[in-house]
Amino acid sequence: MNLDVVTIGEAMVLLLAEQPGPLRDVATFRRFVAGAESNVAIALNRLGHHAGWISRVGGDEFGKVVLSQLRGEGVDTSQVRIDADAPTGVFFRERRAGGTIEVTYYRRGSAASRLTPEDLDATFVAAGQFLHLTGILPALSSTCREVTFAAADIARAAGVAIVLDVNYRRKLWPPDEARAVLRDLAERCDVVLAGSDEAQLLTGDADPARACRSLLALGPRSVVVKLGPEGSMAMAMDETAKVAPPPVQVVDPVGAGDSFAAGYLASSLRGLELADRLAVANRCGALAATVYGDSGALRGWDDVRSERPLMETLR
């Protein structure tokens, strides 16, 4: 089994509004497949690596759509179970040029929320160089929380590096509960990726540099904080880097963080230095923000390593 990264989580069908404005005024939608972990798996494959994805989907047409897209992207879906007794999750998203984008989820009781530790094949989890986890999976259900920590334990025992992308979703769980669980998970991880607000959630510190140091004290080898229009910063035990993002015209910011995570993982797999990893990750995130949908803009490694201005790459 030849895998670079293994990830675990829920993929859903996204119905994106065709018209701008509140969902109540929208008559038509465009369908995508989306989900933080599956987005990362797709992006990694496009960047020249091989990712495997563990999940459950419903025995319904939307489950077939999810599996078809992931398989079409070259993702290893051999550990995806079809649950005939539960649906594939669905969510709706507004189309807006700016401001807060409203997202409405129909995922309670979904097939993926019924994942259990028995769904984990230890050989598969241990097959990658990295195990990618997010803060979404442990928020879905008590059994999903068990799966998250069980996978981390398998990876640690096998010497697989663990990456946690905090990905806090306030609609799934309250901040106090999330903080306790995610700090516990961060202690088991080698790399932590967080937005500046998520770093503050976990540490109580609004200053990104101090939050980085606080997260490092939990045990990870490195911590990355995304700074929005200021780019990103990272700290390891003996190194600090901060890199500005490339200028782009943002069309849809949703999913940019997943592409950022994929870029960071891909550049880590290729042995790049810390600042170069951030530069690649920034470029991947920026590319993702230039199109609608969560994973449509990334094409290959040459694009994200190019020295050309990003807007020129897009033409």
Hey, which residues are catalytic here?
258
| Token pair in block for residue 79 | 């550990």
Residues 6+ apart with CB under 8 A from 278: 224, 231, 232, 233, 234, 241, 242, 243, 264
Beta bridge partners of 154: none
Residues 295/287, Cβ–Cβ less than 8 Å: no
Residues 4 and 130: their CA atoms lie apart, in Å, by: 7
**266 CB burial (10 A radius; 0-12, 13-18, 19+):** buried
Q: Cα(145)–Cα(122) distance, rounded to whole angstroms?
A: 17
CB of 21 closer than 8 Å to CB of 274: no
Q: How far apart are CA 7 and CA 133, in angstroms?
A: 6
CA dihedral sign of residues 149, 154, 155, 156:
positive
Answer whether 288's CB lies under 8 Å from 261's CB.
Answer: no
Alpha helices by DSSP H, the chain: 36-46, 61-72, 122-125, 137-140, 142-158, 175-186, 196-203, 208-216, 256-269, 274-288, 301-305, 310-314
Query: What's the rounded Cα separation, in Å, for the pair 71 and 105?
Result: 24
User: What single-letter DSSP state applies at residue 129?
Assistant: S
